[in-house]
Chain A
Amino acid sequence: MSGPAAGLTPSQTVGPFFAIALPWPDGPQVVPEGTPGAIVIAGRVTDGAGDPVPDAVIETWQAARDGGFGHPDDPRGAAGGTEEAEAARFRGFGRCPTGPDGGYRIVTLRPAALPSGDGRTEAPHLDVSVFARGLLDRLVTRIYFPDEEAANAADPVLAALAASADRDRRATLIAAPDGGGGFRFDIRLQGDRETVFFDV
């Protein structure tokens, strides 16, 4: 191999016909409906004209309520503290195709704050991938919670945004309360109040 990037396989669009393969009946349930403490995170994906994007698929990845990922590359240990009984029902991963109105809906548990590895603390968040026709590579964003103001203020990712020219766009990463104990998180691919997307 001549260099670190040598040989990597490039991304291509998911296209309009992924529904043959990617939707799972239980995809949107990071935990089963009715799990104690379960919340709904829902929203719409819209394009640069403000129109719904009915052919996107949203994926989420997050820590458990106790901060565990149950993953061998977690430097804190593979178990990461995930409680066994909860881990049996908690996948950490959610997947939901958007509907005709651009809407998606995920049922999950609130994640814990996480150590950043350098002595700081990341506020509770979900990593989000957006795939759609028209997107040659996935888009990555994050969902943060509106009732975690102190944690959000100390979060290294949000703090870096607040200190940058993108400070006005920080708000696009904070979900809104939906009035029923859940949260609304809209994803604007382009234009007015465009969601912050990350180079991951």
Chain B
Amino acid sequence: MTASAAGSFPLRPYLRPDRVHPPLDYPPYRSSQLRAPRQPLVLLPHRLTEVTGPLLGEDRVRPGDADLTGQHAGEPQGERIIVAGRVLDGDGHPVARSLIEIWQTNAAGRYRHDGDQHQAPLDENFTGLGRCLTDDEGRYRFVTVKPGAYPWRNHRNAWRPAHIHFSLFGQAFAQRLVTQMYFPGDPLLPLDPVLGSVPDAAARDRLVARFDIGLTEPEWALGYSWDIVLRGRGAAPFEPGGDGR
């Protein structure tokens, strides 16, 4: 067929979530003031460009990329942890063979980035970059160290709770998501305007990982479970043994 041919075919749009994502204009997060658009967003129906997306594969991931503690000559300082979970869509289907990229501070709360001037030590054995592909069931697993809290200048005595940045592609442009994972029991969580920008309390809770003794490896590392759910299309619920899409 020629792609320019007019014709009718079914497109399966993704559902539009209500009250899941933060508003763009959120004054408590000061950096939004000059960057959030003032005009309302214009509805874009999902057509071919939105229901497809980059399917980035093995060539984006090198061996060892999922172990942030093994990328240098020595082991990084800090509390070794395992962060693992599944990537699903809103219909319960696993998001298989999909690229995840993460970045974080070291255990002292310092990013390996020229722009981070926090008076905390760098760690020559820690970059803070991880990548992996989900497996056929949407599972992922990283080994890293627990990141530290750090001060920022959003308001007086502002501190970001410890977090890991996650970038996900899903299977479609409409599913692209960049987010942050937090740690349970962190006293900074209720004070953080970035987490607090999420309007719904249950949705905020979904950004907090769960300590998982089953994922914890004896004599070695604590385990944190965190599942990520991307938009679905309202399709039939996933049936084991189905085509997985």
Contacts and interface: CB of A to CB of B under 8 A. Distances in A.
Q: Do A and B come from one complex?
A: yes
A134 B6 contact: no
Nearest to A189: B35
Contacts of B232: 4
A75 B9 contact: yes
Contacts of A135: 24, 32, 35-36
Interface residues of A, number: 90
Interface in B40-64: 41-56, 60
Contacts of A196: 39, 42
Interface of B is mostly: loop
A117 B212 CA distance: 46
B113 interface: yes
Interface string A50-92: 0101010001011100111111111111001100000000011
B73 interface: no
Interface string B9-21: 1111001111111
A127 B113 contact: no
Contact of A8 (B36, B46, B49, B230): B230
B197 to A, nearest CB: 5
Contact of A200 (B19, B38, B130, B174): B174
A184 interface: no
Interface stretch (B135-143, B183-191, B198-206, B213-221): B198-206
A114 B6 CA distance: 8
Contacts of B145: none
Instruction: Report the interface size class on chain B.
Output: 35 or more
Nearest to B130: A21
B36 A120 contact: no
B195 interface: yes
B48 A10 contact: no
Given A17-B115, A62-B49, A67-B3, A136 B42 contact: no
B121 interface: no
Contacts of A51: 34
Contacts of B204: 10
Interface in B160-175: 165, 167, 171-174
A145 B102 CA distance: 34
B207 interface: yes
Given A20-B128, A166-B42, A53 B37 contact: no
A150 interface: no
A24 B20 CA distance: 30
A157 B15 CA distance: 19
Contact of B44 (A18, A81, A138, A140): A140
Nearest to A95: B54
Contacts of A35: none
Contacts of A136: 21-24, 26, 29, 32, 36, 194, 197
A10 B54 contact: no
A160 B15 CA distance: 21
A115 interface: yes
Interface in A154-199: 156-157, 160-161, 164, 166, 169, 189-191, 194-199
28 contacts: A4-B15, A8-B229, A11-B178, A12-B207, A16-B113, A17-B165, A18-B165, A20-B127, A21-B101, A21-B131, A22-B103, A61-B49, A62-B49, A70-B55, A73-B12, A74-B52, A81-B3, A93-B54, A114-B4, A133-B31, A135-B32, A166-B42, A169-B39, A189-B34, A190-B37, A194-B39, A196-B42, A200-B44
Interface of B: 1-12, 15-24, 26, 29, 31-39, 41-56, 60, 90, 92, 101-103, 111-113, 115-116, 127-131, 165, 167, 171-174, 176-180, 194-195, 197-198, 203-204, 206-207, 228-232, 234, 245
